[in-house]
Amino acid sequence: MTVELLWWEGCPSHPEALAELRRILHEEGVEAEVSRVQIEDDEQARREHFPGSPTIRIDGEDIVPPGEGAPFSLTCRVYRTRDGRFSPLPDPEDLREAIRSRVA
Amino acid sequence: MSLDIGDRAPDFTLPDTAGEEHSLAGPAVVVFTCNHCPYALAWHDRIAAAARDYPNVRFLAVNPNDAVRYPRDSLDAMRERVEREDWPMPYLHDESQEVAHAFGARTTPDVFVVYAEGRLRYRGAPDPDHQDPSLNAGWLREALDAVLAGEEVARPETDPIGCSVKWRQ
Q: Would strands B110-115 and B119-124 be described as parallel, antiparallel, or unpaired?
A: antiparallel
What pLDDT is stored for residue B1 in this prediction? Answer: 62
Please indicate whether, in this complex, the C-beta atoms of A78 and B41 are within 8 angstroms of each other: yes
What pLDDT is stored for residue B26 in this prediction? Answer: 73
Cβ neighbours of A89 (radius 10 Å): 21
Closest Cα to residue A76, out of B104, B70, B105, B132?
B70
What is the C-alpha separation between A60 and A45, in angstroms, rounded?
Answer: 15
Record the pTM: 0.93
Contacts of A89 in chain B (CB under 8 A): 131
What is the domain partition of chain A in residue ranges? Answer: 3-103
Peptide bond into A54 cis (omega under 30): yes
Contacts of B130 in chain A (CB under 8 A): 87-88
Q: What pLDDT, in 10s, does the model give residues B105-117?
A: 999 999 999 998 8
Domain range for B85 is 26-164
3-state secondary structure of B164: strand
Domain count, chain B: 1
Peptide bond into B88 cis (omega under 30): no
Is B84 inside a domain boundary? yes
Please indicate whether, in this complex, the C-beta atoms of B42 and A85 are within 8 angstroms of each other: yes
What pLDDT is stored for residue A102 in this prediction? Answer: 85
Pick among A9, A11, A40, A53 to test the B interface (most B CBs inside 10 A):
A11
What is the C-alpha separation between A36 and A76, in angstroms, rounded?
Answer: 16
Q: What pLDDT, in 10s, does the model give residues B59-72?
A: 999 999 999 989 99
Is B4 inside a domain boundary? no
CATH assignment of A3-103, among 3.40.1580, 3.40.1000, 1.10.10, 3.40.30 = 3.40.30
What pLDDT is stored for residue B101 in this prediction? Answer: 97
ipTM at complex level: 0.86
Question: What CATH number should be reported for the domain holding residue B71?
Answer: 3.40.30.10
Please indicate whether, in this complex, the C-beta atoms of B42 and A87 are within 8 angstroms of each other: yes
Helical segments of chain B, H only:
38-53, 75-84, 98-103, 138-148
| Neighbouring-strand partners of residue B114 | B28, B120
Is B17 inside a domain boundary? no
Spatial neighbors of B124 by CB under 8 A, at least 6 apart, are B110, B111, B139, B157, B158, B159, B160
Is B76 inside a domain boundary? yes
